[in-house]
Amino acid sequence: MARFVVLTHDWPELHWDFLAEAGDSLRAWRLLAEPVAGADIPAEPNFPHRPLYLDYEGPVSGGRGSVSRWDTGMCVWGAAKPDRVELELWGTKLTGSVVIRREGEEWVFRLTV
């Protein structure tokens, strides 16, 4: 089973980084609102992150603010297509099915419990 983490990141403005283990790196999305069940949360794909971010809290290199752990847990990958990914999450705050999908030029994160 893979791990995931949601980090609050205060740079350049407050957002939440959703990171999920995928092999030797973490797939990453920037969530523009706090992730809650039943809501479509605007998301932006981000570059793969190093696995150290599963356990890291503190300053980000290059003067890019700091991160703190908002949630963490285990996940199982379902579909992983270029325009849609599906995961099952078991975290301390987020538990349920997540779909991250492209809608036109935008991406949306949705948790269903």
Tens of pLDDT, residues 65-94 = 999 999 999 999 999 999 999 999 999 999
pLDDT at position 104, please? 96
Q: How far apart are CA 15 and CA 70, in angstroms?
A: 11
Q: Which long-range contacts (CB under 8 A, 24 or more apart) does 74-77 make?
A: 74/1, 74/2, 74/3, 74/4, 75/1, 75/2, 75/3, 75/4, 75/20, 75/21, 76/1, 76/2, 77/2, 77/20, 77/22
Q: How far apart are CA 111 and CA 43, in angstroms?
A: 12
Number of folded domains that form the chain: 1
What is the number of other CB atoms lying within 10 angstroms of the CB of residue 34? 14
Tens of pLDDT, residues 2-54 = 999 999 999 999 999 999 999 999 999 999 999 999 999 999 999 999 999 99
Q: How far apart are CA 21 and CA 26, in angstroms?
A: 4
Q: Which domain holds residue 25?
A: 2-112
